[in-house]
Amino acid sequence: MADPVVREEHAAAVGDSPRRRPPRRGRRQWAPLWLLTPAGLVMGVVTVVPIVLLVLISVTDYDQRSLFTGAFAFVGFEQYAAIFTDSDFWWSLVRTIVFTVAMVVGSVAVGMGVAQLMTRLGTVMRYVVTVVLICAWAMPNVASSLVWNWLFQPGYGVVNWLLTQLRVFGDMTDVAWSQHPLLSATSIWALIVWQAVPFIALTLYAAQVQVPQEYYEAARLDGASEWTVYRSITLVFLRPTLLLITILSIIWDYNVFNQIWLISQGGPDATTTTLGIFTYKTAFVGFDLGGGAAISVVTTLILLVLTAVYIRNLVRSGEDL
């Protein structure tokens, strides 16, 4: 029978000492919470608190008078009943949906084309295109919106001059794009697509270069055309990335405000008034802060549904990988 001292020394040598204290699980369980506390406090201050205040204001008659006197009254769901019976709200919602669909389809389609183009370029040109895309993506949307507005200005706008030189649409020199319903919507659409393409193109390119080349070689050996190869192989591998990019684009484009306001301010004749513009005009132009808050709550609920869809698909795509 081995000596107890010898057994203890042997256990200590192999790292299995019977006297070793078990780890303190309580401290380990609390450590992640302590590390997340600063970020949680910031998120609570900048996200949760404003949403709570927004909901509270939406059930009051808070207006311009309340800003100076602080007097207001709780009206319950009267603000929500008012906006749901307001035809301008529903038209703004319809315009928002149409704008969102058009911008998402345009940005994703152009982004897919640019990503496919980058796979065919040489090393030098690919780096040049990447730098150009990053520069366009890094430009603040306020600055780019102002520059974009100058490009389409009547009299000295570069775009108007170029279209006039093409002699296809006639003399476009004095055309005010922001004063024409279709032209203002087209200008805003082109601006948002231009801003969204860099992120989509670079993300899809990064995903596309991960596709195994053996699949392409086998398909081409079987005589498949380039369109068949792209549809049967590339799109299949890009499906999770495309789905997530599309959902993100829907959320972002649904919230577009700066570009529309800086170019057309929702005009002419409210043809470019989306929910964001309608909320701003209701709350800060008409000083119906309660009504504007109610519209914002409804918009937030719609975005929460979109975000839930995004997270659900994100989890699913992670499980499929």
Q: What is the pLDDT of residues 103-134, one digit of tens each?
A: 999 999 999 999 999 999 888 999 999 999 99
Region for residue 175 given its phi and psi (left: phi exceeds 0; alpha: psi -120 to 50; beta: otherwise): beta
pLDDT at 169: 81
Q: How far is CA 267 from the centre of its chain?
A: 24
Q: Is 256 helix (H, G, I), strand (E, B) or coil?
A: coil
Task: Specify burial of residue 21 (Cβ count, 10 A radius: 0-12, 13-18, 19+).
Answer: exposed
What pLDDT band is residue 3 in, cutting at 50, 70 and 90?
low
Beta-strand runs (E) in the chain? none
The predicted structure's pLDDT at residue 198: 94
Q: Does residue 95 register a pLDDT over 70?
A: yes
Residue 27 reports pLDDT greater than 90: no
Residue 304 resides in a domain: no
Is the pLDDT at 268 greater than 90? The verdict is no
Local confidence band at 176 (pLDDT 50, 70, 90 cut-offs): confident
As a whole-number percent, the residues of the chain with pLDDT over 90 amount to 34
pLDDT of residue 192: 94
pLDDT band at 223 (very low <50, low <70, confident <90, very high): confident
Residue 24 predicted with pLDDT over 50: yes
Residue 18 in any domain: the answer is no
State the Cα–Cα distance between residues 141 and 252, nearest whole angstrom.
13
Q: How many CB atoms lie within 10 A of CB 258?
A: 15
Instruction: Please state the rounded mean pLDDT for residues 44-65.
Output: 87
If one counts the domains in the chain, the total is: 1
pLDDT at 30 over 70: yes
Average pLDDT of the residues of the chain:
85
Tell me, yes or no, whether 53 lies in a domain.
no
* Ramachandran sector of residue 60 (left: φ over 0; alpha: ψ -120 to 50; beta: rest): beta
* Ordered alpha helix ranges (H), 62-86: 64-69, 78-84
Rg (CA), the chain: 28
Residue 250 within any structural domain of the chain:
yes
DSSP string across 162-230: HHHHHTSS---TT--GGGSHHHHHHHHHHHHHHHHHHHHHHHHHHHHTTS-HHHHHHHHHTT--HHHHI
212 within some domain: yes
Instruction: Give the range of the structural domain holding residue 178, as residue numbers without chain letter.
Output: 88-287
Query: With 50 as the cut, is the pLDDT of residue 1 above it?
Result: no
Interatomic CA distance for residues 58 and 295, integer angstroms: 8
pLDDT of residue 19 exceeding 80, the answer is no
C-beta separation of 193 from 202 below 8 A:
no
CATH number for the domain spanning 93: value is: 1.10.3720.10
- How confident is the model over 232-236, as a mean pLDDT? 89
Instruction: Summarize the confidence of residues 293-300 as an average pLDDT.
Output: 91
Please report whether residue 147 resides in a domain: yes
Does residue 277 sit within a domain?
A: yes
Q: Which residues are CB-contacts of 162 (< 8 A; sequence separation ≥ 6)?
A: none
CB 294 within 8 A of CB 89: no
- pLDDT over 50 at 34, yes or no: yes
Task: Summarize the confidence of residues 33-41 as an average pLDDT.
Answer: 82
Say how many CA atoms lie within 13 Å of 38 toward its Cβ: 2
Backbone phi, psi, residue 87, to 5°: -65, -30
- Domain contains 220: yes
